[in-house]
Structure 1
């Protein structure tokens, strides 16, 4: 049967497309040929890159290659009419034996791994190309992460930062207690904790938990566009926000925190000489009059074997 269009399609053996360094990625390239055609070869390219974008938006940084592999899947010849399925495989390994970083889609820092299939069909027909992203996760062995590091907190009108002492007496009284069950978070587990409004002179409108990423990039750029050591430019952006209570909550009632960490939009806490990715959790309590109390907690994200 002659198909309506020519095209390429990539499918991998794993539905979630998640792989670890050293593992083999196997899949199938489906080549659909309308009327059949000649070609100069079917090529597979696998590339992993770190892409950095300066927060001010005025400087472009040359992407850093983490993984690079290219091979001819089908030698030049003629593709028969219909669909031809060709298996392929490759090993996930760093370029020049360097360590791989985990897939991450940030606002200013991104780590991506792509498989691209390409076939050139001569002068009279346009080439065909298909890309597919696969996800790399990099677990580590660290015994210290087996023990949760809990963080208890108590917030009152007297513990607020950036409030002049002369103004403290004008802030309505409140006491908010709670805990994060662990600040050394496992990335494949939800972030959990609890909040209790012990007392509040003003009515409460809502309570939110906000997950924020802190991306840092070296401010120094060489003439070639590569990063060199320099001061870090930091930018904080929201990943997700979870409303855990609405309205004037009952006093002394324990309100649970349960936040699932989104895949690829978070990654294990990362720090290199030229860029870094960190994370914070903000607890935000909004009062009925619009006044908001916010407390920030530093958290480390980790992926263990």
Structure 2
């Protein structure tokens, strides 16, 4: 193609909050005379229930359809001609809510919330329109209601694990602290300790996981997916030694906990203990993630 368009932003990280101005330029480069019927910029946001493997068995017609959160357009140029060369068109568009509240960018396994800046150079029926698109990221502060991030003590034994009971289940006692009481703030890691007080079988490894649980009312059940996992120890874990825990929320893969009509996104922190005979026991702790 003899012509192309590119979108650049004043904010290099392309991350905004409600009320911010999305500002930048559209650079059009053409190697020959370019006739067009107008250059239009669109600011769009959608909620998409994706046709993931988790939902392939569900026969719901709404799967794959988008729910519009925001839709704005800006005319950068009316129809005309561009001779060979490079042209720059500045733009500004405000991120503000309409009838539907804006939600934070969320790249989930089933539920996706995304915002885009799209440019379209319209051409005659005999020529293909020129389009380019860039994703931008929206951060939405959470209502905190006075809640704070607090340390929480935990006590884990063979009698209170979430995994199914095993034959000849090992007898063990694990204690520690985690900063998951109250709320968990994006931008602050989950920190804590894990201490093996006793175990009648050697512990081979300990894993921690951050899991996402997505629920959509049309399905009536939730889908759980792993976001990140870390092995905090390997080999014969020593007893009465406080092992440090630190888990950083990966950017763009974690958004604040969400509960709105028809859908919700929740999170949990999971501790998995593997013994020398490969038996695994797990304990799950629900957490509430917020953004300040």
Q: Give TM-score scaled by structure 2 length.
A: 0.91
Q: Residue 153 of structure 1 aligns with which residue?
A: 154
Q: Counterparts in 2 of 1:235-274, with a 5 A limit?
A: 235-274=223-262
1:255-275 CA deviation, whole Å, 9 max, x = no partner? Answer: 111111112221111111200
Q: Counterparts in 2 of 1:31-50, with a 5 A limit?
A: 31-50=28-47
Q: Counterparts in 2 of 1:142-181, with a 5 A limit?
A: 142=144, 144-145=146-147, 147-161=148-162, 170-181=168-179
8 Å Cα contact 1:53/1:60 also seen in 2 = no
Tell me, in whole angstroms, the C-alpha distance in 2 between the residues paired with 1:59 and 1:143: 36
Q: Residue 229 of structure 1 aligns with which residue?
A: none
Q: Counterparts in 2 of 1:196-215, with a 5 A limit?
A: 196-215=195-214
Q: Counterparts in 2 of 1:1-305, with a 5 A limit?
A: 5-53=2-50, 55-57=54-56, 58-61=59-62, 62-96=65-99, 98-140=100-142, 142=144, 144-145=146-147, 147-161=148-162, 170-183=168-181, 184-219=183-218, 232-304=220-292
Find the residue that maps to 2:188 and give its secondary structure. coil
8 Å Cα contact 2:142/2:256 also seen in 1 = no
Alignment gaps of 5+ in structure 1: 221-231
Instruction: Give the structure with the higher percent strand.
Output: 2
Tell me, in whole angstroms, the C-alpha distance in 1 between the residues paired with 2:203 and 2:66: 47
Q: Residue 228 of structure 1 aligns with which residue?
A: none
The alignment's C-alpha RMSD in Å is: 1.9
Alignment gaps of 5+ in structure 2: none
Q: 1:16 to 1:163 in 2, by over 3 A?
A: closer
Tell me, in whole angstroms, the C-alpha distance in 2 between the residues paired with 1:214 and 1:92: 28
Give 1:161 shift. Answer: 4.9
Tell me, in whole angstroms, the C-alpha distance in 1 between the residues paired with 2:243 and 2:163: 27
Tell me, in whole angstroms, the C-alpha distance in 1 between the residues paired with 2:43 and 2:18: 14
Give 1:141 shift. Answer: 5.1
Find the residue that maps to 1:41 and give its secondary structure. strand
Find the residue that maps to 1:182 and give its secondary structure. strand
Give 1:155 shift. Answer: 1.3
Find the residue that maps to 1:263 and give its secondary structure. coil
Tell me, in whole angstroms, the C-alpha distance in 2 between the residues paired with 1:297 and 1:68: 38
Give 1:148 shift. Answer: 2.3
8 Å Cα contact 1:284/1:292 also seen in 2 = yes
Give 1:163 shift. Answer: 5.8
Tell me, in whole angstroms, the C-alpha distance in 1 between the residues paired with 2:253 and 2:266: 12
Q: Give TM-score scaled by structure 1 length.
A: 0.88
Q: 1:296 to 1:161 in 2, by over 3 A?
A: closer
Tell me, in whole angstroms, the C-alpha distance in 1 between the residues paired with 2:153 and 2:123: 64
8 Å Cα contact 1:65/1:95 also seen in 2 = no
